[in-house]
A and B are shown apart, each in its own frame.
Chain A
Amino acid sequence: MKKAFPILGLLTAALLSYALYQALVVAPTEQTMGDVQRIFYYHVPSAWTAFLLFFINFLASIQYLVRRDPKTDMIANWVVIALGVLVCIAPYAFRTLLPAGVYPSSVVTTGIAFVGLYFLIKRLFSEQQTDMLALTTAEVGVVFCTVVLVTGPLWARPVWGIWWTWDVRLTSTLVLWLIYVSYLVLRRFSSSGQTPVLAAALAVFGALDVPLVYFSIWFFRTQHPQPVVGGGGSIDPRMLRVLLINWVAFLCFAFLVCWSRYRLERTKREVEETQALEALLEPRSALR
Protein backbone atom coordinates (compact mmCIF):
# COMPACT_ATOMS: atom_id res chain seq x y z
CA MET A 1 0.00 0.00 0.00
CA LYS A 2 2.78 2.37 0.93
CA LYS A 3 4.69 1.66 -2.25
CA ALA A 4 1.71 2.68 -4.33
CA PHE A 5 1.82 6.20 -3.00
CA PRO A 6 4.91 7.56 -4.83
CA ILE A 7 3.79 5.90 -8.07
CA LEU A 8 0.32 7.38 -7.78
CA GLY A 9 1.93 10.69 -6.89
CA LEU A 10 3.94 10.73 -10.08
CA LEU A 11 0.96 9.67 -12.15
CA THR A 12 -1.17 12.40 -10.63
CA ALA A 13 1.54 14.98 -11.21
CA ALA A 14 1.69 13.91 -14.86
CA LEU A 15 -2.08 14.05 -15.14
CA LEU A 16 -2.18 17.51 -13.56
CA SER A 17 0.50 18.77 -15.93
CA TYR A 18 -1.43 17.40 -18.88
CA ALA A 19 -4.58 19.02 -17.59
CA LEU A 20 -2.77 22.32 -17.13
CA TYR A 21 -1.51 22.15 -20.69
CA GLN A 22 -5.03 21.44 -21.88
CA ALA A 23 -6.38 24.37 -19.91
CA LEU A 24 -3.80 26.91 -20.96
CA VAL A 25 -3.03 25.90 -24.54
CA VAL A 26 -5.51 23.47 -26.04
CA ALA A 27 -8.78 24.92 -24.81
CA PRO A 28 -10.27 27.49 -27.15
CA THR A 29 -10.22 31.11 -26.07
CA GLU A 30 -13.54 32.39 -24.88
CA GLN A 31 -15.17 35.02 -27.06
CA THR A 32 -16.22 37.66 -24.57
CA MET A 33 -13.92 37.10 -21.63
CA GLY A 34 -10.67 36.16 -23.31
CA ASP A 35 -7.91 34.17 -21.66
CA VAL A 36 -9.02 35.02 -18.13
CA GLN A 37 -11.88 32.59 -18.60
CA ARG A 38 -9.33 29.78 -18.28
CA ILE A 39 -9.52 30.23 -14.52
CA PHE A 40 -12.79 28.35 -14.98
CA TYR A 41 -10.80 25.14 -15.48
CA TYR A 42 -9.43 25.40 -11.96
CA HIS A 43 -12.35 27.13 -10.26
CA VAL A 44 -15.09 24.68 -11.22
CA PRO A 45 -13.24 21.36 -10.63
CA SER A 46 -12.15 22.65 -7.22
CA ALA A 47 -15.77 23.46 -6.40
CA TRP A 48 -17.02 20.05 -7.53
CA THR A 49 -14.24 18.31 -5.58
CA ALA A 50 -15.02 20.32 -2.45
CA PHE A 51 -18.72 19.44 -2.73
CA LEU A 52 -17.90 15.77 -3.20
CA LEU A 53 -15.59 15.79 -0.17
CA PHE A 54 -18.22 17.51 1.98
CA PHE A 55 -20.76 14.96 0.81
CA ILE A 56 -18.46 12.13 1.85
CA ASN A 57 -18.07 13.89 5.20
CA PHE A 58 -21.86 13.92 5.51
CA LEU A 59 -22.11 10.19 4.76
CA ALA A 60 -19.27 9.37 7.14
CA SER A 61 -20.81 11.50 9.91
CA ILE A 62 -24.19 9.82 9.53
CA GLN A 63 -22.53 6.43 9.63
CA TYR A 64 -20.59 7.33 12.74
CA LEU A 65 -23.81 8.36 14.48
CA VAL A 66 -25.94 5.39 13.41
CA ARG A 67 -23.38 2.62 13.76
CA ARG A 68 -23.15 2.99 17.52
CA ASP A 69 -26.60 1.42 17.78
CA PRO A 70 -27.33 -1.66 15.62
CA LYS A 71 -31.01 -0.76 15.37
CA THR A 72 -30.45 2.72 13.96
CA ASP A 73 -27.79 1.24 11.69
CA MET A 74 -30.31 -1.08 10.10
CA ILE A 75 -32.90 1.67 9.78
CA ALA A 76 -30.32 3.90 8.10
CA ASN A 77 -29.43 1.13 5.62
CA TRP A 78 -33.03 0.79 4.59
CA VAL A 79 -33.53 4.55 4.34
CA VAL A 80 -30.53 4.84 2.03
CA ILE A 81 -31.77 1.99 -0.16
CA ALA A 82 -35.28 3.48 -0.25
CA LEU A 83 -33.87 6.86 -1.28
CA GLY A 84 -31.83 5.16 -3.98
CA VAL A 85 -34.90 3.44 -5.37
CA LEU A 86 -36.81 6.71 -5.24
CA VAL A 87 -34.06 8.52 -7.12
CA CYS A 88 -34.15 5.82 -9.80
CA ILE A 89 -37.90 6.01 -10.29
CA ALA A 90 -38.69 9.70 -9.73
CA PRO A 91 -36.84 11.27 -12.71
CA TYR A 92 -38.81 9.06 -15.09
CA ALA A 93 -42.11 9.50 -13.31
CA PHE A 94 -41.75 13.28 -13.08
CA ARG A 95 -39.92 13.82 -16.33
CA THR A 96 -41.76 17.05 -17.07
CA LEU A 97 -40.76 18.62 -13.77
CA LEU A 98 -37.04 18.26 -14.33
CA PRO A 99 -35.14 21.51 -14.95
CA ALA A 100 -33.68 22.05 -18.41
CA GLY A 101 -30.45 20.22 -19.13
CA VAL A 102 -30.97 17.62 -16.40
CA TYR A 103 -31.49 14.17 -17.85
CA PRO A 104 -33.18 11.33 -15.97
CA SER A 105 -30.24 9.03 -16.68
CA SER A 106 -27.75 11.40 -15.05
CA VAL A 107 -29.96 11.75 -11.95
CA VAL A 108 -30.21 7.98 -11.73
CA THR A 109 -26.45 7.45 -12.12
CA THR A 110 -25.78 10.09 -9.45
CA GLY A 111 -28.28 8.44 -7.13
CA ILE A 112 -26.80 4.99 -7.62
CA ALA A 113 -23.29 6.38 -7.20
CA PHE A 114 -24.20 7.94 -3.88
CA VAL A 115 -25.93 4.85 -2.55
CA GLY A 116 -22.90 2.85 -3.64
CA LEU A 117 -20.65 5.37 -1.90
CA TYR A 118 -22.57 4.99 1.36
CA PHE A 119 -22.17 1.23 1.43
CA LEU A 120 -18.60 1.38 0.16
CA ILE A 121 -17.63 3.63 3.05
CA LYS A 122 -19.45 1.28 5.39
CA ARG A 123 -17.53 -1.70 4.06
CA LEU A 124 -14.09 -0.10 3.96
CA PHE A 125 -14.09 1.87 7.19
CA SER A 126 -14.67 0.71 10.74
CA GLU A 127 -16.46 2.97 13.22
CA GLN A 128 -13.32 4.75 14.35
CA GLN A 129 -12.01 4.97 10.83
CA THR A 130 -15.26 6.58 9.73
CA ASP A 131 -14.58 9.37 12.15
CA MET A 132 -11.09 9.83 10.73
CA LEU A 133 -12.57 9.85 7.24
CA ALA A 134 -15.01 12.57 8.26
CA LEU A 135 -12.24 14.75 9.65
CA THR A 136 -10.02 14.20 6.62
CA THR A 137 -12.65 15.01 4.03
CA ALA A 138 -13.80 18.07 5.97
CA GLU A 139 -10.30 19.49 6.17
CA VAL A 140 -9.32 18.79 2.57
CA GLY A 141 -12.76 20.03 1.51
CA VAL A 142 -12.10 23.33 3.26
CA VAL A 143 -8.78 23.62 1.41
CA PHE A 144 -10.48 23.12 -1.97
CA CYS A 145 -13.29 25.45 -0.94
CA THR A 146 -10.68 28.11 -0.11
CA VAL A 147 -9.30 27.71 -3.62
CA VAL A 148 -12.79 28.26 -5.02
CA LEU A 149 -13.28 31.41 -2.95
CA VAL A 150 -9.89 32.79 -4.01
CA THR A 151 -10.14 31.99 -7.73
CA GLY A 152 -13.71 33.26 -7.91
CA PRO A 153 -12.91 36.91 -7.15
CA LEU A 154 -9.74 36.69 -9.25
CA TRP A 155 -12.00 35.76 -12.15
CA ALA A 156 -14.73 38.22 -11.32
CA ARG A 157 -12.48 41.26 -11.07
CA PRO A 158 -11.16 41.44 -14.65
CA VAL A 159 -14.42 40.27 -16.18
CA TRP A 160 -17.08 42.16 -14.25
CA GLY A 161 -14.94 44.82 -12.56
CA ILE A 162 -15.86 43.79 -9.02
CA TRP A 163 -14.02 41.52 -6.62
CA TRP A 164 -17.05 40.07 -4.96
CA THR A 165 -20.70 39.75 -5.80
CA TRP A 166 -23.18 38.28 -3.40
CA ASP A 167 -24.52 35.99 -6.11
CA VAL A 168 -26.00 32.58 -5.39
CA ARG A 169 -23.05 30.35 -6.06
CA LEU A 170 -20.29 32.43 -4.49
CA THR A 171 -22.34 33.26 -1.42
CA SER A 172 -23.49 29.65 -0.95
CA THR A 173 -19.88 28.53 -1.25
CA LEU A 174 -18.84 31.11 1.33
CA VAL A 175 -21.50 29.90 3.77
CA LEU A 176 -20.46 26.31 3.10
CA TRP A 177 -16.89 27.28 3.89
CA LEU A 178 -18.00 28.97 7.11
CA ILE A 179 -19.97 25.92 8.21
CA TYR A 180 -17.08 23.52 7.71
CA VAL A 181 -14.54 25.86 9.25
CA SER A 182 -16.77 25.96 12.33
CA TYR A 183 -16.78 22.14 12.17
CA LEU A 184 -12.98 22.11 12.20
CA VAL A 185 -12.91 24.61 15.07
CA LEU A 186 -15.25 22.41 17.09
CA ARG A 187 -12.96 19.45 16.38
CA ARG A 188 -9.96 21.34 17.66
CA PHE A 189 -11.54 22.90 20.72
CA SER A 190 -13.57 20.10 22.23
CA SER A 191 -12.15 17.53 24.61
CA SER A 192 -11.18 14.33 22.85
CA GLY A 193 -13.66 12.03 24.50
CA GLN A 194 -16.76 13.32 22.82
CA THR A 195 -15.36 15.16 19.82
CA PRO A 196 -16.35 12.59 17.19
CA VAL A 197 -20.00 12.50 18.24
CA LEU A 198 -20.40 16.27 18.51
CA ALA A 199 -18.59 16.85 15.24
CA ALA A 200 -20.75 14.26 13.50
CA ALA A 201 -23.89 15.96 14.80
CA LEU A 202 -22.64 19.34 13.58
CA ALA A 203 -21.75 17.87 10.18
CA VAL A 204 -25.28 16.50 9.78
CA PHE A 205 -26.73 19.88 10.71
CA GLY A 206 -24.42 21.62 8.29
CA ALA A 207 -25.33 19.28 5.46
CA LEU A 208 -29.06 19.69 6.15
CA ASP A 209 -28.50 23.42 6.04
CA VAL A 210 -26.93 23.46 2.59
CA PRO A 211 -30.11 23.25 0.46
CA LEU A 212 -31.76 25.84 2.70
CA VAL A 213 -28.77 28.15 2.26
CA TYR A 214 -28.89 27.76 -1.50
CA PHE A 215 -32.65 28.35 -1.74
CA SER A 216 -32.69 31.35 0.53
CA ILE A 217 -29.87 33.09 -1.31
CA TRP A 218 -31.34 32.12 -4.70
CA PHE A 219 -34.65 33.73 -3.83
CA PHE A 220 -32.87 36.72 -2.34
CA ARG A 221 -31.06 37.17 -5.63
CA THR A 222 -34.21 36.98 -7.71
CA GLN A 223 -35.44 39.90 -5.64
CA HIS A 224 -32.16 41.82 -5.78
CA PRO A 225 -30.42 40.72 -8.98
CA GLN A 226 -26.65 40.99 -9.37
CA PRO A 227 -24.13 39.73 -11.95
CA VAL A 228 -23.56 36.00 -11.76
CA VAL A 229 -19.98 34.82 -11.55
CA GLY A 230 -19.33 31.93 -13.87
CA GLY A 231 -22.36 32.47 -16.04
CA GLY A 232 -24.92 29.88 -16.93
CA GLY A 233 -26.02 28.30 -20.12
CA SER A 234 -24.48 25.72 -22.41
CA ILE A 235 -20.82 25.05 -22.76
CA ASP A 236 -18.66 24.39 -25.83
CA PRO A 237 -17.93 20.62 -25.98
CA ARG A 238 -14.19 21.27 -26.36
CA MET A 239 -14.26 23.33 -23.19
CA LEU A 240 -16.30 20.65 -21.45
CA ARG A 241 -13.65 18.09 -22.35
CA VAL A 242 -10.86 20.21 -20.85
CA LEU A 243 -13.01 20.84 -17.79
CA LEU A 244 -13.56 17.13 -17.24
CA ILE A 245 -9.86 16.36 -17.73
CA ASN A 246 -9.02 18.92 -15.08
CA TRP A 247 -11.67 17.54 -12.79
CA VAL A 248 -10.33 13.99 -13.04
CA ALA A 249 -6.81 15.29 -12.38
CA PHE A 250 -7.96 17.23 -9.31
CA LEU A 251 -9.93 14.24 -8.05
CA CYS A 252 -6.77 12.11 -8.17
CA PHE A 253 -4.90 14.91 -6.42
CA ALA A 254 -7.61 15.21 -3.77
CA PHE A 255 -7.45 11.46 -3.22
CA LEU A 256 -3.73 11.62 -2.54
CA VAL A 257 -4.08 14.62 -0.24
CA CYS A 258 -6.84 12.82 1.69
CA TRP A 259 -4.72 9.73 1.92
CA SER A 260 -1.84 11.73 3.39
CA ARG A 261 -4.10 13.51 5.85
CA TYR A 262 -5.76 10.21 6.81
CA ARG A 263 -2.36 8.67 7.41
CA LEU A 264 -1.44 11.66 9.59
CA GLU A 265 -4.61 11.24 11.63
CA ARG A 266 -4.00 7.55 12.08
CA THR A 267 -0.45 8.23 13.28
CA LYS A 268 -1.74 10.86 15.67
CA ARG A 269 -4.16 8.40 17.24
CA GLU A 270 -1.42 5.79 17.34
CA VAL A 271 0.72 8.24 19.34
CA GLU A 272 -2.10 8.88 21.78
CA GLU A 273 -2.74 5.18 22.24
CA THR A 274 0.94 4.42 22.69
CA GLN A 275 1.26 7.20 25.23
CA ALA A 276 -1.70 5.80 27.13
CA LEU A 277 -0.17 2.34 26.96
CA GLU A 278 3.15 3.66 28.19
CA ALA A 279 1.47 5.34 31.13
CA LEU A 280 -0.23 2.07 31.99
CA LEU A 281 2.90 -0.02 31.79
CA GLU A 282 5.08 2.29 33.84
CA PRO A 283 2.88 3.83 36.52
CA ARG A 284 5.81 5.11 38.52
CA SER A 285 7.41 7.04 35.72
CA ALA A 286 4.03 8.63 34.96
CA LEU A 287 3.83 9.82 38.55
CA ARG A 288 7.34 11.17 38.42
Chain B
Amino acid sequence: MSAPTGITWATLTKDVQLEWRSKDAINSMLFFALLVVVVFSFSFDPEAEESRQIAGGLVWVAFLFAAVVALNQTWARELRNQVLDAYRVSPAPANSLFVAKALGNFIFVSVLEALMTPLFIVFYKLRVLGPAWQLIPVAILGTWAIVVNGTFFAAMSLRTRSREIMLPLLLFPITIPALLSMVEATTTILVGDPSTSAKFWIVLLATYDVVFTTGCLALFGTVLHAE
Protein backbone atom coordinates (compact mmCIF):
# COMPACT_ATOMS: atom_id res chain seq x y z
CA MET B 1 0.00 0.00 0.00
CA SER B 2 1.58 3.30 -1.07
CA ALA B 3 2.19 6.01 1.50
CA PRO B 4 -0.72 8.35 0.65
CA THR B 5 -3.37 5.65 0.72
CA GLY B 6 -1.78 4.27 3.88
CA ILE B 7 -2.15 7.62 5.57
CA THR B 8 -5.69 8.01 4.31
CA TRP B 9 -6.66 4.58 5.58
CA ALA B 10 -4.98 5.15 8.94
CA THR B 11 -6.66 8.52 9.49
CA LEU B 12 -9.99 7.18 8.36
CA THR B 13 -9.94 4.14 10.63
CA LYS B 14 -8.80 6.31 13.52
CA ASP B 15 -11.70 8.72 13.02
CA VAL B 16 -14.27 5.96 12.63
CA GLN B 17 -12.97 4.16 15.72
CA LEU B 18 -13.01 7.32 17.82
CA GLU B 19 -16.49 8.11 16.64
CA TRP B 20 -17.67 4.57 17.29
CA ARG B 21 -16.47 4.77 20.86
CA SER B 22 -17.87 8.19 21.72
CA LYS B 23 -20.74 8.39 19.23
CA ASP B 24 -20.66 12.18 19.72
CA ALA B 25 -21.33 13.24 16.18
CA ILE B 26 -23.82 10.52 15.34
CA ASN B 27 -25.93 11.18 18.39
CA SER B 28 -26.11 14.93 17.94
CA MET B 29 -26.77 14.53 14.21
CA LEU B 30 -29.54 12.01 14.78
CA PHE B 31 -31.25 14.08 17.40
CA PHE B 32 -30.99 17.23 15.30
CA ALA B 33 -32.41 15.52 12.21
CA LEU B 34 -35.24 14.09 14.27
CA LEU B 35 -36.09 17.52 15.65
CA VAL B 36 -36.11 18.99 12.14
CA VAL B 37 -38.47 16.26 10.93
CA VAL B 38 -40.87 16.79 13.82
CA VAL B 39 -40.87 20.58 13.52
CA PHE B 40 -41.46 20.37 9.78
CA SER B 41 -44.37 18.02 10.32
CA PHE B 42 -46.10 20.82 12.19
CA SER B 43 -45.63 23.26 9.34
CA PHE B 44 -46.67 20.89 6.58
CA ASP B 45 -49.49 18.44 6.96
CA PRO B 46 -47.78 15.07 6.47
CA GLU B 47 -51.06 13.25 5.86
CA ALA B 48 -51.91 15.01 2.61
CA GLU B 49 -51.07 13.60 -0.79
CA GLU B 50 -48.99 16.73 -1.42
CA SER B 51 -46.52 15.52 1.18
CA ARG B 52 -44.93 13.43 -1.55
CA GLN B 53 -44.14 16.64 -3.42
CA ILE B 54 -42.40 18.33 -0.51
CA ALA B 55 -40.91 15.29 1.21
CA GLY B 56 -37.88 15.35 -1.08
CA GLY B 57 -37.03 18.88 -0.04
CA LEU B 58 -37.66 18.24 3.64
CA VAL B 59 -35.49 15.15 3.72
CA TRP B 60 -32.52 16.85 2.17
CA VAL B 61 -32.83 20.00 4.24
CA ALA B 62 -32.86 17.86 7.36
CA PHE B 63 -29.81 15.91 6.17
CA LEU B 64 -28.01 19.11 5.19
CA PHE B 65 -28.50 20.71 8.60
CA ALA B 66 -27.50 17.51 10.36
CA ALA B 67 -24.43 17.20 8.15
CA VAL B 68 -23.36 20.71 9.16
CA VAL B 69 -23.40 19.54 12.79
CA ALA B 70 -20.96 16.77 11.90
CA LEU B 71 -18.85 18.95 9.61
CA ASN B 72 -18.37 21.61 12.23
CA GLN B 73 -16.50 19.25 14.48
CA THR B 74 -14.53 17.58 11.67
CA TRP B 75 -11.37 19.39 12.45
CA ALA B 76 -12.05 20.24 16.07
CA ARG B 77 -10.26 17.17 17.35
CA GLU B 78 -7.22 17.89 15.20
CA LEU B 79 -7.14 21.49 16.30
CA ARG B 80 -7.38 20.61 19.99
CA ASN B 81 -4.38 18.34 19.97
CA GLN B 82 -2.21 20.31 17.54
CA VAL B 83 -2.42 17.44 15.14
CA LEU B 84 -2.95 19.87 12.29
CA ASP B 85 0.35 21.63 12.97
CA ALA B 86 2.11 18.31 13.15
CA TYR B 87 0.55 17.36 9.84
CA ARG B 88 1.66 20.57 8.20
CA VAL B 89 5.22 19.97 9.23
CA SER B 90 5.28 16.33 8.15
CA PRO B 91 6.00 15.38 4.53
CA ALA B 92 2.63 13.63 4.29
CA PRO B 93 0.54 14.83 1.34
CA ALA B 94 -2.29 17.09 2.42
CA ASN B 95 -4.77 15.36 0.17
CA SER B 96 -4.56 12.10 2.10
CA LEU B 97 -5.77 13.92 5.18
CA PHE B 98 -8.53 15.58 3.23
CA VAL B 99 -9.76 12.38 1.61
CA ALA B 100 -9.72 10.62 4.97
CA LYS B 101 -11.74 13.38 6.61
CA ALA B 102 -14.19 13.60 3.74
CA LEU B 103 -14.69 9.84 3.67
CA GLY B 104 -15.17 9.80 7.42
CA ASN B 105 -17.84 12.47 7.19
CA PHE B 106 -19.39 10.62 4.28
CA ILE B 107 -19.69 7.49 6.39
CA PHE B 108 -21.20 9.37 9.33
CA VAL B 109 -23.77 11.19 7.22
CA SER B 110 -24.64 8.00 5.32
CA VAL B 111 -25.24 6.20 8.60
CA LEU B 112 -27.48 9.07 9.62
CA GLU B 113 -29.41 8.85 6.36
CA ALA B 114 -29.80 5.11 6.70
CA LEU B 115 -31.22 5.54 10.19
CA MET B 116 -33.47 8.49 9.35
CA THR B 117 -34.99 7.23 6.11
CA PRO B 118 -37.30 4.64 7.75
CA LEU B 119 -38.43 7.37 10.12
CA PHE B 120 -39.26 9.69 7.25
CA ILE B 121 -41.18 6.96 5.48
CA VAL B 122 -43.20 6.32 8.62
CA PHE B 123 -43.86 9.96 9.54
CA TYR B 124 -44.84 11.07 6.05
CA LYS B 125 -46.41 7.79 4.92
CA LEU B 126 -44.16 7.76 1.89
CA ARG B 127 -44.39 5.26 -0.88
CA VAL B 128 -41.96 5.53 -3.74
CA LEU B 129 -43.95 5.68 -6.95
CA GLY B 130 -41.03 6.00 -9.35
CA PRO B 131 -37.92 3.85 -9.90
CA ALA B 132 -36.73 3.45 -6.33
CA TRP B 133 -33.27 2.14 -7.24
CA GLN B 134 -32.43 5.60 -8.60
CA LEU B 135 -32.53 6.89 -5.04
CA ILE B 136 -29.24 5.15 -4.35
CA PRO B 137 -27.08 7.15 -6.80
CA VAL B 138 -28.92 10.29 -5.70
CA ALA B 139 -28.12 9.57 -2.06
CA ILE B 140 -24.48 8.71 -2.71
CA LEU B 141 -23.75 11.60 -5.09
CA GLY B 142 -25.76 14.06 -3.03
CA THR B 143 -24.15 13.15 0.27
CA TRP B 144 -20.70 13.34 -1.30
CA ALA B 145 -21.50 16.79 -2.72
CA ILE B 146 -22.38 18.12 0.73
CA VAL B 147 -19.52 16.36 2.47
CA VAL B 148 -16.67 17.18 0.10
CA ASN B 149 -17.36 20.89 0.06
CA GLY B 150 -18.30 20.87 3.74
CA THR B 151 -15.00 19.31 4.79
CA PHE B 152 -13.11 21.83 2.66
CA PHE B 153 -14.98 24.85 3.99
CA ALA B 154 -14.69 23.51 7.54
CA ALA B 155 -10.92 23.63 7.08
CA MET B 156 -11.23 27.15 5.70
CA SER B 157 -13.29 28.33 8.65
CA LEU B 158 -10.86 27.00 11.22
CA ARG B 159 -9.18 30.25 12.06
CA THR B 160 -12.06 32.59 11.43
CA ARG B 161 -14.16 34.30 14.04
CA SER B 162 -17.57 32.68 14.55
CA ARG B 163 -16.32 29.44 13.13
CA GLU B 164 -19.63 27.60 13.51
CA ILE B 165 -21.53 30.21 11.56
CA MET B 166 -18.84 30.55 8.91
CA LEU B 167 -19.20 26.99 7.67
CA PRO B 168 -22.90 27.08 6.71
CA LEU B 169 -22.50 30.63 5.44
CA LEU B 170 -19.83 29.53 2.98
CA LEU B 171 -21.30 26.12 2.24
CA PHE B 172 -24.94 26.84 1.47
CA PRO B 173 -24.62 29.24 -1.49
CA ILE B 174 -22.05 27.04 -3.24
CA THR B 175 -24.12 23.92 -2.62
CA ILE B 176 -27.30 25.34 -4.13
CA PRO B 177 -27.07 23.58 -7.52
CA ALA B 178 -26.31 20.29 -5.81
CA LEU B 179 -29.15 20.81 -3.35
CA LEU B 180 -31.56 21.64 -6.13
CA SER B 181 -30.50 18.53 -8.03
CA MET B 182 -30.86 16.28 -4.98
CA VAL B 183 -34.27 17.62 -4.07
CA GLU B 184 -35.61 17.56 -7.61
CA ALA B 185 -34.28 14.08 -8.26
CA THR B 186 -35.78 12.75 -5.03
CA THR B 187 -39.12 14.42 -5.67
CA THR B 188 -39.22 13.13 -9.25
CA ILE B 189 -38.54 9.59 -8.05
CA LEU B 190 -41.07 9.81 -5.22
CA VAL B 191 -43.83 11.27 -7.36
CA GLY B 192 -43.10 8.86 -10.20
CA ASP B 193 -44.54 10.96 -13.00
CA PRO B 194 -43.74 8.94 -16.14
CA SER B 195 -43.12 12.05 -18.25
CA THR B 196 -40.23 13.22 -16.04
CA SER B 197 -36.95 11.58 -15.30
CA ALA B 198 -34.39 12.12 -12.60
CA LYS B 199 -31.57 11.29 -15.02
CA PHE B 200 -30.65 14.90 -15.78
CA TRP B 201 -30.41 15.69 -12.08
CA ILE B 202 -28.26 12.65 -11.40
CA VAL B 203 -25.90 13.60 -14.22
CA LEU B 204 -25.75 17.17 -12.92
CA LEU B 205 -24.99 15.88 -9.43
CA ALA B 206 -22.22 13.70 -10.83
CA THR B 207 -20.78 16.69 -12.71
CA TYR B 208 -20.95 18.81 -9.57
CA ASP B 209 -19.16 16.09 -7.61
CA VAL B 210 -16.39 15.73 -10.19
CA VAL B 211 -15.84 19.49 -10.49
CA PHE B 212 -15.71 20.15 -6.77
CA THR B 213 -13.81 17.07 -5.75
CA THR B 214 -11.13 18.11 -8.24
CA GLY B 215 -11.24 21.65 -6.91
CA CYS B 216 -10.97 20.53 -3.29
CA LEU B 217 -8.08 18.18 -4.00
CA ALA B 218 -6.28 20.87 -6.00
CA LEU B 219 -6.64 23.57 -3.37
CA PHE B 220 -6.64 21.73 -0.04
CA GLY B 221 -2.86 21.77 0.21
CA THR B 222 -2.86 25.54 -0.23
CA VAL B 223 -5.56 25.99 2.40
CA LEU B 224 -3.85 23.72 4.89
CA HIS B 225 -0.55 25.53 4.60
CA ALA B 226 -2.00 29.01 4.51
CA GLU B 227 -0.49 30.93 7.37
Contact = CB atoms under 8 A, between A and B. Distances in A.
Q: Is the interface of B mostly helix, strand, loop or mixed?
A: helix
Interface stretch (A23-31, A33-41, A192-200): A192-200
A217 B180 contact: yes
A103 B172 CA distance: 36
B13 interface: no
Interface stretch (B15-23, B98-106, B153-161): B153-161
Interface in A214-248: 215-217, 219-220, 223
Given A202-B156, A205-B212, A223 B196 contact: yes
Contacts of A189: 160-162, 166
A181 B172 CA distance: 12
A194 B162 CA distance: 16
Contacts of A191: 159-160
Contacts of A198: 156, 223, 226
Interface in B161-178: 161-162, 166, 169-170, 172-174, 176-178
B174 to A, nearest CB: 5
Given A65-B219, A185-B170, A212-B208, 18 more contacts: A65-B222, A178-B176, A181-B173, A182-B173, A185-B169, A186-B156, A186-B170, A190-B156, A190-B161, A193-B226, A194-B226, A198-B156, A202-B170, A208-B215, A213-B176, A216-B177, A219-B200, A223-B184
A45 interface: no
Nearest to B211: A208
B186 interface: no
A175 interface: yes
Nearest to B196: A223
Contacts of B201: 219
Interface of B: 149, 156, 159-162, 166, 169-170, 172-174, 176-178, 180-181, 184, 196, 200-201, 204, 207-208, 211-212, 215, 219, 222-223, 226-227
A216 B204 CA distance: 7
A204 B219 contact: yes
Contact of B170 (A182, A215, A223): A182
Interface string A80-114: 00000000000000000000000000000000000
A-side interface mostly: helix
Contacts of B200: 219
A45 B169 CA distance: 29
A67 B174 CA distance: 25
Given A189-B166, A190-B160, A217-B180, A175 B173 contact: yes
Q: How large is the interface on A (under 10, 10 to 19, 20 to 34, 35 or more residues)?
A: 20 to 34
A212 B160 contact: no
23 contacts: A65-B222, A178-B172, A179-B173, A185-B166, A193-B226, A193-B227, A194-B159, A194-B226, A194-B227, A197-B223, A197-B226, A198-B223, A198-B226, A201-B219, A202-B156, A205-B174, A208-B215, A209-B177, A215-B177, A216-B204, A217-B177, A217-B180, A220-B184
